[in-house]
Structure 1
Amino acid sequence: MTRVWFNRTFSNVRAVLDLIRRGDAAGELHLICTHPEPSFPGFVPAHEHALEPAGLSGADYVDFCLEFCRERRIDALWPGKEARLLAEQHERFAAIGVRLLSVAAPDVLERLHDKASFAVEASRFHIPTPETLPFRTATEFESAYERLRFTHEVLCIKPAKGVNGDGFRVIREGHGGLEGLARDGLYSLRRGCLRQLLARNPPDATWLLMEYLAGDEYSLDAVGDGRRLIALTQRCKAAGGAYGQRIVARPELTRAVSELTERFGLSGLFNVQFREGRHGLRLLEVNPRFAGGIGYTGVTGLNLPYLALRGLIRGFTEQDYQDAPRPAPEMTVLEVAQYERHGGAA
């Protein structure tokens, strides 16, 4: 039996663990989940769980992980927290018999997390990134704004490093007062207000100004072997907040993810985001982790978490390569299937 540890990560790991257990009919995998919060949802489907010490980071967290691997006889670590730093220390884990299941090399992880440098590199891809300019000061913002407004009606901002849409705002013209604030919605910001914020307290980190993409959003959950794309699910989240998600199979999206898999050497389970704009599809980002909507893939007949883990530990099969890249069939999913019931987690 192979003991696989999922260290601290997002609560959607519950869906990942559910799907792995569903795929592992022979019971060859023993799943361990850790988190500082005793009520963490990922503990429910895990075969074994434990509390992580709160407040650890950097080298101290790496030391904790190494000791945990020794104590719990871990065979493979699927990293969440400090994924890049753990990947840098993969030789220390290998020395104690632990395989680190990193999506990419440490330098690649850094490039993917830095959306400013990623936007420049990916602007030449089959499906390019939105037109993007970095800024830190009010002067840099105004210069970038005037430049992009020549070709794009609406612009938006987000931090160069961030997850789950943190800091994303659509820029609105004018002042508008309280009535304008009520109409603008949660994810918008008046240009004048942003200008004042930058003048009073310029950010320490880089932010990005980019064309706003108003069309449908596509979230692609994918499995790669480090060289080629093995399988993927394409989830379409319709603009306007329509209920549910459509599972689609657009060939141009498959080609784009195949290109990204080869270019960045992506292995295991990862996520790629695209969105439609006035000038067609644009690549938003590559997330070297499982996505929040990974549970939607459980109803497609394509068990990506189990396929990824089985492939990384035991190698992908001839059938996997014969079918690659295998897309999930088209369908509409209005609701994620109920989680599996598990007992005996300790």
Structure 2
Amino acid sequence: MSHKVRVWFNRWFAVGYHYMNNIRHNPDGLEFEIYGTHRDAEHVSFQACDYTEIEPALPGDEYVAYCLDFCKRHKIDVFVPRWRMINIVRAIASFEAIGVKVVACTNLELLDVIEDKGNFYRSVEQNGLMVVPEYHLVHNVAEFKQAYDDLTSKGLGVCFKPTRSEGGLGFRVIQPNYNALEELLDVPNVNISYEQTVQILSSIESFPELMVMEVLEGHEYSIDCLASPTGELLAAVPRRKADGGRARLLENVPELIRLAEEVAQFYKIPYNYNLQLKYQGDIPKVLEINPRMSGGLHISCLSGVDFPYLAVKLALGHAVEKQNPEFGILASYVEQPVLIRKLEQS
């Protein structure tokens, strides 16, 4: 390409700021123009962009039309979507027809499996890929009560989360000794009582599917993965919360890397994705797969694997060799001020 490669991020998290800079300051000296869009006119990721635009509030199909128009107007080469990913993947042929490389899992059937936790757990169980937590899928308060009784009868703690959600949205842990006043005066957290949960869920005849599952007590790992467009695993970096705060450890855990290899061989997810597991005793149990760059990927890049840039490089058709991550790295993160603009004084 004679011009700088144009890469677009749509409505990303704040950490998109880091991923954009990873791509810009790549070790190969490839030149990029970074485009960013968001509903928030002052979103911090805009500070890493060459061009920014405020997105309109649109439903799915209309939003896809906006994306296609944006790509045409700005001659985008590589699109890294986060917002409305399923809608965008449904229209993948339209993006390919105008020459846009989309850094995403473009297999719609597979994306529907891994983005829905109920579908994902059933797939994992049926194919014997990993151990899943004890869980129930519920749609009304009677089913919730049955699920709670079953899990507690086995001596397990209970938590729940919507089967379709992102990050920690909707995640709650039921505390048997919940003290409403103490919780009210404490820092905000995910705890809730059984009685409160039942009261809320009883207020409606049925609700969007919830996964009610055992609370896992061991270390939690996020395995950041990089794969070729055909799903060949090129890197897997296990990253765990090293304490109750912000410390993260990039750790060589052979059984987790083996699981990542087996998941890659079976699902063949391309580019960047994140596999989350948590231990119960000596058993790692799967939580979910995020088919995109994770919120902590910038920390995993300290392993020497430049995940965001390498994904874009792969999408452009360049060869990327199997990576050799460095492990045994303890890291943390701090807030860093980013100047958005100087306001005129009246």
The alignment's TM-score, normalised by the length of structure 2, stands at 0.88
Q: Is the 8 A contact 1:214 1:277 kept in 2?
A: yes
Could you tell me which of 331, 340, 343 is aligned with 2:329? Answer: 331
Could you tell me which of 237, 240, 245 is aligned with 1:236? Answer: 240
Could you tell me which of 270, 273, 278 is aligned with 2:273? Answer: 270
Partner Cα separation in structure 1 for residue 101 and residue 306 of structure 2: 22
1:244-297 deviations in Å (ceiling 9; x for gaps) = 111101111111112222222211111111111235211100001111112212
Tell me: CA distance 1:198–1:339, structure 2 relative to 1, closer, same or farther (3 Å).
closer
Alignment of 1:160-175 (within 5 A): 160-173=163-176
Q: Is the 8 A contact 1:173 1:192 kept in 2?
A: no
Could you tell me which of 255, 259, 267 is aligned with 1:256? Answer: 259
Match of 1:59 in 2: 61
Could you tell me which of 3, 9, 13 is aligned with 2:6? Answer: 3
Partner Cα separation in structure 2 for residue 209 and residue 334 of structure 1: 32
Between Structure 1 and Structure 2, how many residues are aligned?
A: 336
1:64-116 deviations in Å (ceiling 9; x for gaps) = 11111111011121111111111111111122222222224112111112111
Partner Cα separation in structure 2 for residue 48 and residue 152 of structure 1: 55
Choose 98-107 or 265-274, whichever is displaced more. Answer: 98-107
DSSP 3-state at the match of 2:316: helix
Partner Cα separation in structure 1 for residue 319 and residue 253 of structure 2: 24
Q: Structure 1: which amino acid aligns with 2:328?
A: E
Percent of residue pairs bearing the same amino acid type: 27
Tell me: CA distance 1:56–1:190, structure 2 relative to 1, closer, same or farther (3 Å).
same
Partner Cα separation in structure 2 for residue 294 and residue 148 of structure 1: 33
The alignment's TM-score, normalised by the length of structure 1, stands at 0.88
Q: Does 1:191 align with 2:189?
A: no
1:15-42 deviations in Å (ceiling 9; x for gaps) = 1111112225423332211112221111
Gaps of 5+ in 2: 341-346
Tell me: CA distance 1:94–1:334, structure 2 relative to 1, closer, same or farther (3 Å).
closer
1:44-81 deviations in Å (ceiling 9; x for gaps) = 1223222222x112111111111111110111211111
Gaps of 5+ in 1: none
Q: Is the 8 A contact 2:158 2:174 kept in 1?
A: yes
Q: Structure 2: which amino acid aligns with 1:332?
A: L
Q: Which has the higher contact order (CA 8 A, sep 6+)?
A: 1
Deviation at 1:203, TM superposition (A): 4.5
Partner Cα separation in structure 2 for residue 130 and residue 25 of structure 1: 43
Alignment of 1:243-322 (within 5 A): 243-278=246-281, 280-317=283-320, 320-321=321-322
Match of 1:91 in 2: 93
Partner Cα separation in structure 1 for residue 22 and residue 241 of structure 2: 22
Q: Is the 8 A contact 1:235 1:245 kept in 2?
A: yes
Match of 2:77 in 1: 75
Q: Is the 8 A contact 2:113 2:123 kept in 1?
A: no
Choose 67-76 or 93-102, whichever is displaced more. Answer: 93-102
Q: Is the 8 A contact 2:44 2:338 kept in 1?
A: no
Partner Cα separation in structure 1 for residue 100 and residue 117 of structure 2: 31
Q: Is the 8 A contact 2:78 2:100 kept in 1?
A: yes
Tell me: CA distance 1:9–1:83, structure 2 relative to 1, closer, same or farther (3 Å).
same
Tell me: CA distance 1:180–1:59, structure 2 relative to 1, closer, same or farther (3 Å).
closer
Q: Does 1:216 align with 2:216?
A: no
Partner Cα separation in structure 1 for residue 177 and residue 166 of structure 2: 29
Partner Cα separation in structure 1 for residue 334 and residue 299 of structure 2: 5
Tell me: CA distance 1:184–1:131, structure 2 relative to 1, closer, same or farther (3 Å).
farther
Q: Is the 8 A contact 1:158 1:167 kept in 2?
A: yes
